[in-house]
A and B are shown apart, each in its own frame.
Chain A
Amino acid sequence: MTAIARARAPRPDPFLDIDSYDPEADLMVMNLGPQHPSTHGVFRVLLYLDGEIIIKAVPYPGYLHRGVEKLCEKLTYAQITPIVDKNDYVAPMLNEQAVNMAFEKMLGVEVPPRALHMRTLLAEIQRVASHLLWLGTFAMDLGGALGGGTSVFMYCFREREAILDLFEKLTGCRFHYNTHTVGGQRHDIPAGWAAEVHRVLGAISDRIDEYEAMLSHPIFLKRTKGVGVIDAQLALELGLTGPLLRASGVDHDLRRDAPYHIYDQIKDLKVAVESDGDCLARYKVRVVELRESIRISRLLVDNVPEGPICGGRPIKQPGQFKAKAGQVYVGIETPRGELGTYLIAGGGKMGDTPYRLKIRPPSLHALAVVPYVFPGHSVSDAVAILGSLDPIMGEVDR
């Protein structure tokens, strides 16, 4: 039995006892991370190698644990938005939406239709930016195979800059926007913004064809096809969500299945599903989502309803919201999957701060897949798999 066959048993054992492994084998222990250009942040995996083949992988997250949940317990509901921006720093808009939706549910604040419409629009534009960043870094992880490796990265960042400029016109910041509040938005759409959105997104959707042509390269296919297969059963049990789950053949998208904002009004929302569960399938799902998000944003930007952008009283004091004791859970679909907020509010004297705020990061579940898919692959494949999972360490460790 070769090392590959041994490690690619139906489901590799993450708690494999390395002492009981074949004593004849050429064993080596290798540390990937915490500072490695391809780990998308600070993530460490201890790899046990038999020759070139990984037989066991032990991940160690936590190198960016910033105690966000503890900090949120000290801040009032209106003050938390800028803090959670920094969790998933590739899609900050969706972080803000997740916590603010939980707060609104808890405090019983109504959100006006214009704000809901804007939230949907911003979420979709942010999804485009996030997937573009993923595409660029993933192509870079695959390295020299793609004409120097950094060309796709350079192109993707060029488009992403255009989207950041859009957001800068709206909120004044490149990222970390702080534009959502309890009850609505803080910044209204400036004049001429819609035309600009059309221009930018139109240009991007043309260029995605170019990237696809660039990436349908035999070497790219070879490095992604059949690499890092996650079957549907494992994906469900591990709690994978978003593109990872859909690439494994499970048709599940919270935008369609548990609609929030105004997603229930978008009738023909296309959910991309692939059945292979490998890196190539994850790439395909994300590219389809990229196009779909561009289509939805261009649809939405034209018919934003008139009206106020913030319901209830404008926020004048940090401690203006008082919650009764209670617990809510809200989950939304981010580019990486279901971002959940479990909020426990303490009533009475502790009514103006959350008693406990638990954030359910999709990336943490995505990384939990590492001990199950790494065994049986070589180290270079491990880098490709890690890139295809799209982990953001800020949200994994919080």
Chain B
Amino acid sequence: MTPAEENAAREQAFRRLLRERFGVEGEADAPLPDDGVVVDRAHHVDLAKALHKAGWQLYVTCAATHFPAVPGKKPTDATTPECFEVATVLRTVGPGSHTARWRVKLAVGESLPTLVPVFVGADWQEREQFDLVGVHFEGHPDLRRLMMPEDWEGHPLRRDYAIDTPHAPWR
């Protein structure tokens, strides 16, 4: 197989897996949306395990995002509640490397099951996202702050955190 064919076959396998086992809507072979698939929170770890088994062995990254509450356009419209999104990216190694990425939507106060038992590399990434965005990872063996000092208040990468927050006595 040429690298390009290999990549296409992986893409196919990824789509099938998502649609058949993890309840993603759409035809089994239809292309996935450009901005990544949304997977239910309950499937997060199972999906990672299944992909790990099927050849997506390299843990690439995870990115948490904060979406603050958005008031409706008109006063009568309902407010979109505050929520978080955690995107995960995995990769296959070797020619035709394919990236699998999906995201999980979380409401305020909801936590995400950790991926550390599957990929130990998730350890620091999840600590970082916990530190900067404030998403809680359930079952993480050592969930401490990674970047900011231990006594820091707040999570800097939240959208409602002021960029120039003072911190006595240094700034």
Contact = CB atoms under 8 A, between A and B. Distances in A.
A329 B102 CA distance: 11
B119 to A, nearest CB: 5
A368 B125 CA distance: 10
Contact of A258 (B97, B124, B149): B97
B158 to A, nearest CB: 10
B16 interface: no
Contacts of A325: 35
Given A237-B59, A340-B60, A356 B93 contact: no
Majority DSSP secondary structure for residues of A touching B: mixed
Interface string A62-84: 10010101110110000000000
B147 A252 contact: no
A250 B93 contact: yes
A342 B97 contact: no
A360 B65 contact: no
A250 B156 CA distance: 37
A195 to B, nearest CB: 35
Interface string B78-113: 000000000101010111111101010000000000
A358 B132 CA distance: 11
B121 A368 contact: yes
Q: Classify chain B: how many residues form its interface, as a range.
A: 35 or more
B94 A365 contact: no
A331 interface: yes
Contact of A254 (B59, B97, B120, B148): B97
Q: Classify chain A: how many residues form its interface, as a range.
A: 35 or more
A239 interface: yes
In this complex, the member of B7, B59, B61 whose beta carbon has the largest number of chain A beta carbons within 10 angstroms is: B61
Nearest to B122: A239
Given A238-B59, A252-B93, A342-B89, A62 B35 contact: no
A97 interface: no
A249 to B, nearest CB: 11
Nearest to A236: B57
Given A256-B95, A360-B60, A67 B123 contact: no
B71 to A, nearest CB: 14
A329 B99 contact: yes
B123 A71 contact: no
B154 interface: no
Nearest to B63: A358
Contacts of A71: 163
A251 interface: yes
B87 A342 contact: yes
In this complex, the member of A74, A239, A331 whose beta carbon has the largest number of chain B beta carbons within 10 angstroms is: A239
B112 to A, nearest CB: 16
B124 to A, nearest CB: 5
Contacts of A15: 141-142
Contact of A65 (B97, B142, B148, B161): B148
Given A70-B156, A257-B94, A355 B65 contact: yes
Interface string B41-72: 00000000000000001111101010000000
B95 A257 contact: yes
Nearest to A360: B61
B120 to A, nearest CB: 5
Interface in B118-156: 119-121, 123-125, 128, 132, 141-142, 145-149, 156
A164 interface: no
Contacts of A150: none
A241 interface: yes
A326 B65 CA distance: 13
B121 A365 contact: yes
Contacts of A240: 121
Interface of A: 15, 61-62, 65, 67, 69-71, 73-74, 234, 236-241, 245, 250-252, 254, 256-258, 325-329, 331, 338, 340, 342, 344, 355-356, 358, 360, 364-365, 367-368, 397
18 contacts: A15-B141, A65-B148, A71-B163, A74-B163, A236-B59, A236-B93, A237-B119, A238-B120, A239-B60, A251-B94, A252-B58, A257-B94, A258-B7, A340-B89, A356-B157, A360-B61, A364-B128, A368-B120
Interface of B: 3, 7, 34-36, 57-61, 63, 65, 87, 89, 91, 93-99, 101, 103, 119-121, 123-125, 128, 132, 141-142, 145-149, 156-157, 159, 161, 163
Given A70-B163, A239-B60, A327-B34, 9 more contacts: A62-B145, A62-B147, A73-B159, A239-B119, A239-B121, A239-B125, A258-B97, A356-B157, A364-B128
